[in-house]
Structure formats: C-alpha cells, structure tokens
Structure 1
Amino acid sequence: MSRIVSDVKYSLIAYFRNKGALFWTLIFPIILFLLMGYLFGGQSGPLELYYQDSDGSQLSHSFVGALNQTGVFDLRDGAGMDLAQSLKDGKISAYIVIPSGFEKSAMAAKAGSNVSNAGLEVYYDKSKSTSGIVISVIEQVVNGMNMALAGARNVIPVTSQDVTTSSMSFVAFLLPGIIGMTIMSSAVNGTVSTTARNKATGVFRKLATTPISRLEWNAAKIINQTIILMLSISISLIVAWLVFGIVPNINAVSVLMIIFGSAVFSGLGMLITTFVKDVDSAENAASAITFPLMFVSGSFISVDSMPWFLRYLADVSPLTYLNNGLRSSMITGNYGDAVMNLIIVAILGIILFVVGVSLLKWKED
C-alpha cells in the first residue's frame, strides 16, 4: 500500500507541474461546456415564437398585440407553414395556434356559457431551456386578458403540449456528457502517453527491478486519475451551478461511475499501447478511437436521434453506458437505470483493467 501511495503522490506532483495537462483536464472541459451550453442551450434577446391565427378576429389580433407588447417574443406569422413538422424537425422551438371560433368562444364564456374547446394551443420542445419562459409569459398574457374580459374567470383556456421525449434542458443533458468525455479522454490519453513513453525510455525495465508490481503501479495510476477527475468534475459542477443554475445530484452511484469509468478507459489505454509500440503512433491511435466515441455515445446529442447505423456503434461504446449512468444518477434520478449502467461499466472496467495489466509486460519491453 505504501508503494501505491508514494506513486500517487509523485504522479500528482508531476501532473500539477504540467501546464498542458492542467489545461486539457481542468480548463478545456469548462470552455467546451460553456461554449456548447450557450450556443445550443441558451438564448439571449427576444425569443422566437411562431403563431397561426385561424380566427382572424379583433380579439385574436388583440392577443397577438399583447404578446408583442411584452417585449419577450420575436413574433413570426406562421400562416401557410407546417409548424408541427418544423417543430419536429427542430427548426423552431415553440408555436401557438389561435383556433377558429376563438373570439366567439371567449364571448360566450363571458356571457356565462360553458367554455368550448376553442382555446389557445401552445406546442413546444421541452428540451429547450427557454420553453418554461414561453409558457409562463403566454399564461401571464392570457390571465391579463381574462381579468379584462371577465374579472378572474377563465374565459380563454390554454393548452400546452410537450412534443419532445426529453424532460431535461440541453445544458442539463450536456453536463454528464462533458463529464463522461473528460473521464474517457483523461484516462485513455493519460495512460497511453505514460505507458508508451515509459516503454520507449526504458522506465519499465527499471521498474521491473523494483519491489512495485504491475498491479500496484496500474492501481496507483487509476487512483491518480480518479483524483484528477474528481477535481475536474468538481470545477465543472461549480460552473454549471454558477452559470446555468444546474444542481446535479452527487451520490454513491455517480461516484462509482466515475471510478469504474476511469478503470474502463485506463484499461483501454493499456490495450492500445500493447499493440502499438511507437509513442506518436499510440497517441494517434488513442485519438482515433476516442474522438469518434465522443459523438456516437450520447455526449452531445441523444443516441435516439442518431441514424440507425450509428446507434449500433453507440451500443458497443463503453462511453454510452457511462454517459447514461451519469445522467440517470445525477440529473433524472432514475436509479434503476443508473445501477444497470453502473454494473455494465464496472464489468467492463474490471475486464479491461485485468487484461491490460496482464498484457503489460515490463521485462519484455
């Protein structure tokens, strides 16, 4: 145990002296998270809102005018457009339908008749972080018109429909993906770089003459990388809270996902250096493997939205199960799914780590 502790200690000292490693593990994930969060998950200025006025009445025009006066929306007339298809295609994030008979229904309700089904219909993509704002503002405008028309009576009903399968904002979806990507990149690249250079410089031949075993040395590297990852993830979580107000749930399952995820990709890194001896070639091979996995494993977009042939790649990617487990444990609270993904990652981590250690022959290098 003392040999493992000593190795971890000096590995951490070397890490904090390496400015490049500090940037790629601590700073770059934050930059990527903020960049993608603001580009795809946030929005500044007026929110684009399409509408279809099938009534064409004075009341419907007044309602559109009231929405415009809030200054929240950039209103777009969707007459003649297939807004439902545009929403499904992701070209727009929300639209509102003013049905035929809207004014007649409101006047009948004002006179004391039952409210008909000719109320406003709002369709929106709940995965967009602005959806809550859209619904809230529309309801406030409608409440104001209800007050003006009939005191506090509900003259104009509003029906809002979520037409997406996602129940989380893009930024909340993105955070576990960035964490998973960081675990993979740090573990694979760190293991490949250290192992390949130790082979090339003869460090392993010298280590073979010392009391430390291959298992102890690799265990020390797993612990070292886990400590670094915990630091990197802690910074990411603080930024997510300060900038986007996201407070993920940190629990035993998410912590174990990080530990076993580190083991999975450290083992993968050892396998790469077993078959690729040259330092530069090993690092290029690591990049060739990890770079595509970032995009097919649900780090940035849902696997369900990918073409069918990419879903097959996602099914065999360890990063997919790591990302899913982190989202389920940290964001959605689906602990049954989180535990299932943890079991898969743990099994893969044990297998890859044992195989990697077995194939790493110090004396033969």
Structure 2
Amino acid sequence: MAERLVQARGNAAPQLTRILRQGRYEAEAMLRNGEQLVLAVVLPLLALFGLVFVDVLDGVAPQRIDAAAPGVLALCVMSTAFTGQGIATGFDRRYGVLRFLSTTPLGRAGLVFGKALAVLAVLLVQLVVIGGAALLMGWRPAPAGLALAAALLVLGAAAFTSLGLLIAGTVRPEATLAITNLAWVLLAAGGGLLIPATSMPAALQPVVQALPSSALGDAMRAALIDGRFLGGAFLVLVVWTVLAGIAATRWFKWN
C-alpha cells in the first residue's frame, strides 16, 4: 500500500495543476447546487432591488443604487466565502471527503488553496451578475476606487473563508448549517454590511464597526462612492483575517 501511494504521488500532476483542477471542481459544484445559487445570486439580487426601493440608505450617496451596490457586493462575499463554503466544507468533513482528499497528492494545503480559488471564481460570477444589474439600474461607481474595491473583496473573501472553515472544522455539519445561515441573516440585516453602522443607534455602533461585515461594507462604500481608502475598516478586516486564519489552522478537524 505504501509503495502504491508513493508511486501515485510520483505520477501525480504538478501541484499548481492539482490546485487549479480542485478549484474548478469546487466552483462548478457550488454553481450547480440550487441552494448555493440562490444564496450566491438570487438573494443578493433581491437585496439590491429592495434597497433601491426603500429609504434606509437615503443620504449615504447621491443615489440609492450608489449606496446599495457596494454593500450588496460585500454581501456576495459573505454568501460565498462564509455561508456557502462553510456549509459545503462541513458536509464534506462529515462524509470523509476532506480526510480522503488530504491523503491524496493534492494534500491539505492544495485542498485549502483549491477552495480559495473556487470562492474567487464564484465571486467573479457574482460580480458580473450583480455589478451588471446595478449598472443597468444607474450605478456609477467612483473610478478611483475600483482597484481598491477589488482588493477589499479579496481581503474580505479571505476573512470570511477563514471564519467559515473555522466553524465547519470545529462543529457538526447541522450546527454549521444553522450557525452560518443565522449569521448571514444577522450580519446582512444589522452587521453593517448593507446598512452603515452610523445609521444604527449610537450604543451599538462601536460593536458593529468591530465586525468584519461592517468593515467590509463601510470600506466598499467609501471606495466605490467617494474613491476613499478607509484605513480603520481595512485594519479591522486584516485583524479578522489573521485571527480567524490562525484559529482555523489550529482547531480545524479533518475527521
């Protein structure tokens, strides 16, 4: 058995090729899953349309769509990187898929990088769909903030993927399903993601602004409305990414 494993590793494709193939497989699996598709595309679209037709974002930007689109793009990150990836990983762990893949030439590092690529691939699809819909509705993002917004989306994806993997790797799949879905609702509604923390009661603002959802939402709005870099929000995202990454590495259980 050991000789066969060594031979299989010797005949394996290069590591980068294995990661790319795993990333493509993970992305296709997410996009083919009806529930994941609803979470990744349908709900963000409904949020975009809803925010344009209510007055909760009045005063944030010249047009409601200008204030709504950055927050909904941030919501896409949380939908895919946190909720979608967390649920998928939790059930892969339950059925032994993670343990099996970690013993193949792909390895544990390759599996993690493959999942990260899948998140970025699905996020790109979301950006095309949601961003295209927002443009048709009159959204005009600040050109100076486009590159910054792209970097923020990648950083946000890293933070929320780490959090999703932390939950998926430490609790039962049913608990992962409940926790990630509940967190999605709470953070979308009151976590500063869609509605700025400054619009909430003063007593809650410091707590909300310390959340990764608020940091990503506020930073995206600053970048795409005014072309500004929000240093405090960026730092909050970095801290969450580092801490969640360390915790996931330390406590993630493959079995």
TM-score class normalised by the smaller sequence: 0.7 to 0.9
1:340 Cα shift? 4.6
Partner of residue 352 from structure 1, selected from 233, 244, 247: 244
Residues 193-250 of structure 1: per-residue CA shift (max 9 Å, x gap) = 1221112111122123212232221122112111211221222121111123434536
Indicate if the aligned counterparts of 1:176 and 1:299 stay in contact, CA closer than 8 A.
no
2:157 counterpart SS class: helix
1:274 is aligned to 2:166: no
AA at the equivalent of 2:164: G
Query: More displaced, 302-311 or 341-350?
Result: 341-350
Deviating above 4 A after TM superposition, structure 1's stretches of 4 or more consecutive aligned residues are: none
Which protein has the larger Cα radius of gyration, Structure 1 or Structure 2?
1
1:36 is aligned to 2:51: yes
Indicate if the aligned counterparts of 1:270 and 1:356 stay in contact, CA closer than 8 A.
yes
- Which residue is 1:314 aligned to? 208
1:24 Cα shift? 2.3
Within 5 Å, which residues of 2 pair with 1:175-190? 175-190=69-84
Which structure shows the bigger proportion of residues in strand conformation? Answer: 1
1:209 is aligned to 2:103: yes
Indicate if the aligned counterparts of 1:218 and 1:357 stay in contact, CA closer than 8 A.
no
Partner of residue 39 from structure 2, selected from 24, 46, 60: 24
AA at the equivalent of 1:259: V
Partner Cα separation in structure 2 for residue 320 and residue 235 of structure 1: 23
Cα distance change, pair 300–194 in 1 and its aligned pair in 2 (3 A): closer
Residues 321-356 of structure 1: per-residue CA shift (max 9 Å, x gap) = 111111111111113x2x553343234223322431
Indicate if the aligned counterparts of 2:219 and 2:233 stay in contact, CA closer than 8 A.
yes
Residues 137-182 of structure 1: per-residue CA shift (max 9 Å, x gap) = xxxxxxxxxxxxxxxxxxxxxxxxxxx6x45333211111111122
- Which residue is 1:259 aligned to? 154
Residues 55-97 of structure 1: per-residue CA shift (max 9 Å, x gap) = xxxxxxxxxxxxxxxxxxxxxxxxxxxxxxxxxxxxxxxxxxx
Which structure shows the bigger proportion of residues in helix conformation? Answer: 2
Give the unaligned 5+ runs of structure 2.
Answer: 1-15
1:275 counterpart SS class: coil
Cα distance change, pair 316–247 in 1 and its aligned pair in 2 (3 A): closer
Partner Cα separation in structure 1 for residue 181 and residue 31 of structure 2: 23
1:320 Cα shift? 0.9
Within 5 Å, which residues of 2 pair with 1:232-247? 232-247=126-141
1:283 is aligned to 2:194: no
RMSD of aligned residue pairs (Cα, Å)? 2.2
Indicate if the aligned counterparts of 2:156 and 2:216 stay in contact, CA closer than 8 A.
yes
Within 5 Å, which residues of 2 pair with 1:59-70? none
- The size of the alignment, in residue pairs, is 239
2:193 counterpart SS class: coil
Query: More displaced, 183-192 or 20-29?
Result: 20-29
Cα distance change, pair 195–245 in 1 and its aligned pair in 2 (3 A): closer
Partner of residue 226 from structure 2, selected from 332, 335, 354: 332
Indicate if the aligned counterparts of 1:214 and 1:357 stay in contact, CA closer than 8 A.
no
- Which residue is 1:51 aligned to? none
- Which residue is 2:23 aligned to? 8
TM-score by length of 2: 0.84
- Which residue is 1:302 aligned to? 196
1:13 Cα shift? 2.4
Q: Percentage identity across aligned positions?
A: 21
1:309 counterpart SS class: coil
Indicate if the aligned counterparts of 2:169 and 2:252 stay in contact, CA closer than 8 A.
yes
- Work out which structure has the larger RCO, using CA pairs closer than 8 Å and 6 or more positions apart in sequence: 2
Indicate if the aligned counterparts of 2:48 and 2:72 stay in contact, CA closer than 8 A.
yes
1:280 Cα shift? 1.7
Indicate if the aligned counterparts of 1:253 and 1:342 stay in contact, CA closer than 8 A.
no
Indicate if the aligned counterparts of 2:149 and 2:223 stay in contact, CA closer than 8 A.
yes
